[in-house]
A and B are shown apart, each in its own frame.
Chain A
Amino acid sequence: MLKKISVILVSILIISTIAVGCKSESASDTQSTDTTQTTGSKVKDVTITIFQSKVEITEQLEKLAKEYSDMTDGVEVEVWGTTGDDYMTQLQTKLGAGQGPTILSAGVGTEAEDLSDYLYDLSNEEYVKYIAPGMEVRSKDGKLIGIPYGAEGFGFVYNKSLVDASKITDYDSFSNTLKELKESDVQAVSLTKEAYFLIAHILNVPFALQDDPEAFVEELTNGTKKMTGNPIFEEWAKFMEIIKSEGVNPLEINYDTQTGDFATGKTAMIHQGNWAYGMFDSYDIDFDMGILSMPVNGNDKISVGIPNSWGINASASEDEIKAALEFLDWLFTSEKGQSYIVDKFGFIPAMTNMKTDTLDPLGKEVAEYTASGKTLPWVFNIWPAGIVNNDFVPATQKFFSNEKMTGNEFLQELDKAWENATK
């Protein structure tokens, strides 16, 4: 008798284990059939999921989701956690398995294009008319697939008590300033070893200064043009030489050290963006700061772009999409939603219907550059996939660890890197 019972118990255990394994699939099945039946005018009992890549705003977003869930009747907003670094990998796996989120980070440029088949066309939404010009994320066939998170800008973040920005207008004045700073026992300028801070951002400048950056990228890929020999790139290379000789070795500096040294007045200029302001929270800063353009060829613009965008998964059920559209509409048009974007997430709005007076100093600076039209596009978004980490970083490491390497040799390395990434 006892044996029989134990056999039954064991079998139940096994069956339930197997059933748990299959559960998620069957659950989503029933859910989708349910929702297609109840498609009506009013959204009812729907769970929408948000999966996004910016770790910094996860907590705030969860609060927002809870608030929205409480406010609405029957719409549950769930936020999926991520570590950020491998966001695309995770998203790809989830979408491939048919278990994608409802609202996701659609990215921009190459990344958005990769995802575009999965994304819902947002062109008919009311609020898209507020998106600042040039900041819409569209696929090649013209679908509006992403609403920008916000704008971000980068250049040389400088300490106003150490550097007089009005004096820096071209290569000579830039290099003289660096030399003077170094003599006065201040670290003149620093990059850091993280891939985008090391090379992608700073290399964006000569790309953006080309007459037609998009065409230039294509010509690099099909081999009709090279960075070597291009006058703008050659001048940029001279800047890199002076940054190497007068600045600190970026390979020995990480983001924390760099921002820390800047906040304590040890470094006069760092190549960073407005996001770095969040790093200064724990310091008492007793100086004013601003953002300075990299004066390649007399350039006075800083690079402003959108880091990421919100998109909706087109393969989600109709009700889910509807609820997600309503959520985004609320986020971008209601006072509460907007205050989350500007105050809690700390984004510089890329939409014209939001106020910017509560931004931090660097954010204000970027907003000012944007208002006066002094912006360069983020060309690195349309570089070939993987090129920064796999090809540009090694080339740059070579440049900074070899004192004798000239800027021109560096350009040749970058050309080689481009060739390798597009072969």
Chain B
Amino acid sequence: MKKSKKKMWFAVFTLPTVFIFLTVVLIPFSMGIVYSFFEWDGMALHEKKFIGFSNYINMFSDERFISSIWITVKYTLIAALIINVLGLLFALLVTQKLKVRNTLRTMFFMPNLIGGLILGFIWQFIFMKVFEQIGSSTGLDNIFFNWILDEKFALFAIILVSTWQMAGYIMIIYITGIQSIPTELLEAAKVDGAGYFQRFKSIMFPLLTPAFTVSLFLSLSNSFKIYDVNLSLTGGGPYNSTEMFAMNVYNEIFSYKNFGYGQSKAVMFFFFVALITLVQVYLSKKREVEM
């Protein structure tokens, strides 16, 4: 009697989730894998031609696709690094005994509440008008010019905007990490004569490793999957120098209308994200210390 009741409750709570997961993740995902072996333009009434692994083989000679991967990797590494460094610095700052710390927290977190698309448009204006104004009025026009139009700087424009958006979010994770460190440890070290930097290096840093794991995971996978800021800020331009992985997939499917080929790129995209994040989580889990 009791056992069957337990089973029923188990079903009541898990079945809806399983149902949703099945219909919105698992089924579309496997259908996507199937489509990646076809040549098809995405129109349901049009013929699907089975072509085996050709889509996957073609990818290796698709220069634009490969360069979009490189751009994404470059972007992910730089952005994830800056986001985490800034996030940690912000967290350290707002856990000090400051009068303005709550205001600061809100301000750092605020950009995260604005969607990436809108941020992109706001910053497009900043780069177009404000940067040029600063450049022409201070004479520093080799730094302050319209970054979006420059092949080398456009990527950094995206990095700047997405860092600004993401750092506040990562900061929250570090704050909880810092607050969960027992104060006795820090006080004991202080009594023993350890300076701030020493306390940070030998006590806080190792105890923050779980926070690092989460933050790195979030910032790496989010940066790799970036699309919204990419679309609204540069749209892939100038001359495709900032077209990243997700955008390349979208363009292949919905603009060139190569549904099958685009789908195979999307499958590759999945493997890339899975690989990177699994390796990262494995490595940082190894470093975590138990209290």
Write the residues of chain A forming the contact surface with B, with a CB cutoff of 8 angstroms: 7, 10-11, 14, 17-18, 21, 86, 88-89, 92, 95-96, 114-115, 117-118, 251-252, 385-386, 389-390, 393-395, 397-398, 401, 420-421
Contacts and interface: CB of A to CB of B under 8 A. Distances in A.
Interface in B222-276: 236-240, 251, 254-257
A252 B149 contact: yes
Contacts of A114: 41, 43, 257
B237 A390 contact: no
Given A89-B254, A386-B256, A389-B255, A401 B44 contact: no
Interface in B59-79: 64
Given A18-B19, A252-B146, A385-B255, A92 B43 contact: yes
A366 to B, nearest CB: 29
Contact of B44 (A14, A95, A394): A95
A11 B16 CA distance: 11
Interface in B99-115: none
A393 B238 CA distance: 9
Contact of A394 (B16, B23, B146, B239): B239
Contacts of A421: 256
Given A252-B149, A394-B237, A386 B251 contact: yes
A384 to B, nearest CB: 8
Given A14-B15, A251-B238, 17 more contacts: A7-B12, A10-B12, A14-B16, A18-B16, A88-B254, A92-B42, A96-B43, A114-B41, A114-B43, A115-B43, A118-B43, A118-B45, A252-B128, A252-B149, A394-B238, A394-B240, A398-B239
Contacts, number: 64
Contacts of B42: 92, 96
A420 B62 CA distance: 10
Interface string B29-49: 000000000000111111000
A64 B44 CA distance: 32
B8 interface: yes
Contacts of B12: 7, 10-11, 14
Nearest to B248: A390
Contacts of B255: 385-386, 389-390
Given A11-B12, A114-B43, A393-B237, A86 B256 contact: no
Nearest to B151: A401
B76 to A, nearest CB: 23
Contact of B149 (A88, A394, A401, A420): A401
A114 B251 CA distance: 17
B239 A397 contact: yes
A401 B257 contact: no
A397 B256 CA distance: 20
Contacts of A385: 255-257
17 contacts: A7-B8, A7-B12, A18-B16, A86-B254, A92-B43, A95-B44, A96-B43, A117-B43, A118-B45, A385-B255, A394-B236, A394-B239, A394-B240, A395-B239, A397-B149, A397-B239, A401-B238
Contacts of B239: 394-395, 397-398
B238 A390 contact: no
B143 to A, nearest CB: 18
A397 B237 contact: yes
A10 B10 CA distance: 12
